Structure 1
Amino acid sequence: MASCKAILCFILTYFLLQLSEINAKVPAIIVFGDSSVDSGNNNQISTILKSNFAPYGRDFIDGKPTGRFSNGRIPTDFISEAFGIKLTVPAYLDPMYNITDFATGVSFASAGTGYDNATSDVLSVLPLWKELEYYTEYQNKLREYLGHERANEILREALYLISIGTNDFLENYYLLPHRSSEFSVEDYQNFLAEIARNFITELYKLGARKISIAGLPPMGCLPLERTTRIFFRNNCVEKYNDVAKDFNDKLDGLVRTLNKELAAIRLLLSNPYDILLQIIQKPEFFGFQNVKTACCGTGYFEMSYLCDKMNPFTCSDANEYVFWDSFHPTEKTNSIIADHVFKSGLIQFL
């Protein structure tokens, strides 16, 4: 009996040591980007692009609408859990949280934003430079809370996740005339890639070393694009998908370059394109029944305030749907994407 207890004690001790090692290697998740990773920052700014009302969040913890553009958790929440940190990553502007909560993870993301400042102007959301400004403010708060040595260690060992870019094309370049008259598609891609380069370089100068930048999804397959481009008979708009693939190739080249140029950086491209396209092309394989329309509303064009509790068409089981609203995946889809991104790349940071 004593021997069994000793063995159990050893196993428990080993498990705890392993868990502490994981937490030591990635002590915090720090997030920048758009609605794919905004956990509620838009709630606190003057914009019409919000989701802090039902039925958003109906499958979240306690059924609470937090400002996440989904029925539940978003990819960064699942990634934080995968690293053994916490179940959700709070929004920096959310008054319910403070530096104690943010020490292990925080999101500066703002739904509707993009690399391009002109994109954030469309719906009056936080531009990317403002997210970086809030991050420097956060650094100061963290140093006051933990002391410079411990805070700097967390900032150096934290995993930085960047997910942004879809709005630059769908809500700016292809919707409004200014950028499309100024740039060819390829020139605009290069313009955005240069902003990405500068942003990552600034993060590096501020102490970040473990960084993942997400590529674009197959944006021509979003329900909104299928619906509004009726000429394509509700099929994916391959023109937009091709743009996404081309831009992802540019980001891949950028990642390779910066890994050579910036000493000790570990920069990774996390590409959701292929896994989401697989889900869209073979939804039944992943346990979905509907991919062309979304759960909320009629499933064709509703997002934000068009997807509210007064809408009588919202589906009863979001797990049957790939998309929650016309632009954003369901929690189930988010979990599959996050699992793929973690196992195919982010796991190297363990």
Structure 2
Amino acid sequence: MGGKGYALWLFIIEIFVHFSTSSSSSSGNKVPAIIVFGDSSVDSGNNNFIPTIARSNFEPYGRDFFNGNPTGRFSNGRIAPDFISEAFGIKQSVPAYLDPAYNISDFASGVCFASAGTGYDNATAMVADVIPLWKEVEYYKEYQKKLRAHLGDEKANEIIREALYLVSIGTNDFLENYYTLPERRCEFPIVQQYEDFLIGLAESFFKEIYGLGARKISLTGLPPMGCLPLERAVNILEYHNCVEDYNNLALEFNGKLGWLVTKLNKDLPGFQLVDANAYDIILQIVKHPSRFGFEVADTGCCGTGRFEMGFLCDPKFTCEDASKYVFWDAFHPSEKTSQIVSNYLIKKYLAKFR
């Protein structure tokens, strides 16, 4: 090969290497931030900063978090958004928007607006005086203004457009509101009517954040809520088995969410709403815990594991090793369960965003 030919060959290789490295670096940075809306399944501590009893910023919560810090996550450690953020190469935990320990430079790569105890229905948030979903959106608008002031319009708009939004909400609408208090049952005597009411609220929420620039969204619907330790504890007549009526309701509602996902993806140009349904994997873990490395699936780690959560979780009466338990308290998964579920959701539904 002559001198010119060799130089040309080197030039081609250089271009190829530059192209492959630049494309791989950009693909590794397709999601610059994780932005979270929802309830206690994804709240990283916003409720610490509002007057509510629905909080968990005390021991034994957070005992397996970094430095054993009780952050307000309803877990012994990290929760799903933290694991998803880490898997996308962003950061190991997603901070709560109301936490004054963080600022806009922290929130630029991930922020959580979720509030434990909330739902699609404003009336659900009123049960424990927590942040309603509309207020989460107001905080998101405020965040956008701060982000633009911090980074400039172009960079901020890119983060807003390319971020992965995680939405996990709905369980409290049924368990804390519809089946606990009389008002909504009087208004919607058939539960399917209430489901449809919630679907309408969900549609409005997604259209609003789409209008604000959100494009990549993961929606996680209801878990098999009849298998939560709290529900099993009161299911005395069926020997503390899962409450099948609640599980069937979750399946029915998730089906309607799936219909909504299809509709919105069709109606809204550029919208990528993913139906990241965790029902099946959670049910598998509950039904076959040993396959996933667990020993206990019917009760939580905290106290008797049947009804304790929040302030009722006493450090003196909490299991030694939470990794043996599917549930941390009577309502929320352990860190290990959250990690397994997150890995499943990433592999099955969210890999296309990476």
Q: Name the TM tier (shorter chain).
A: over 0.9
**In the alignment, which of 112, 126, 129 is matched to residue 131 of structure 2?**
126
Partner secondary structure for residue 337 of structure 1: helix
CA–CA distance in 1 between the matches of 2:276 and 2:53? Answer: 30
**Any gaps of 5 or more consecutive residues in structure 2?**
1-16
One-letter amino acid matched to 1:163: S
Q: Are the equivalent residues in 2 in contact too, given 1:22–1:83 (CA < 8 A)? A: no
**Partner residue of 1:262?**
268
Cα offset, 1:308, TM superposition: 3.0
**Structure number with larger C-alpha Rg:** 2
String of CA shifts for 1:248-283, please: whole Å, max 9, x gaps: 000000000011000011111111100000000100
Partner secondary structure for residue 291 of structure 1: strand
Cα offset, 1:180, TM superposition: 1.2
**Partner residue of 2:292?**
286
One-letter amino acid matched to 1:238: E
One-letter amino acid matched to 2:150: Y
One-letter amino acid matched to 2:165: Y
**Partner residue of 2:111?**
106
Cα offset, 1:232, TM superposition: 2.2
CA–CA distance in 1 between the matches of 2:336 and 2:212? Answer: 35
CA–CA distance in 1 between the matches of 2:259 and 2:224? Answer: 19
- The 1:251/1:98 distance shift into structure 2, 3 A limit, reads same
1:242 matches 2:248: yes
Cα offset, 1:19, TM superposition: 6.5
Cα offset, 1:233, TM superposition: 1.3
1:158 matches 2:163: yes
**Partner residue of 2:229?**
223
Q: Are the equivalent residues in 2 in contact too, given 1:22–1:84 (CA < 8 A)? A: no
1:198 matches 2:204: yes
Cα offset, 1:53, TM superposition: 0.3
Cα offset, 1:196, TM superposition: 0.6
| Stretch of structure 1 that moved more, 227-236 or 298-307 | 227-236
One-letter amino acid matched to 2:182: P
**In the alignment, which of 274, 281, 284 is matched to residue 275 of structure 1?**
281
**Partner residue of 1:323?**
327
**Partner residue of 2:11?**
none
**Any gaps of 5 or more consecutive residues in structure 1?**
1-11
String of CA shifts for 1:271-297, please: whole Å, max 9, x gaps: 110000000010000000000110011
1:97 matches 2:102: yes
**Partner residue of 2:304?**
298
Q: Which runs of 4+ in 1 moved over 3 A?
A: 12-20
CA–CA distance in 2 between the matches of 1:38 and 1:348? Answer: 25
Cα offset, 1:18, TM superposition: 6.7
Q: Are the equivalent residues in 2 in contact too, given 1:288–1:320 (CA < 8 A)? A: yes
Partner secondary structure for residue 317 of structure 2: coil
One-letter amino acid matched to 1:274: D
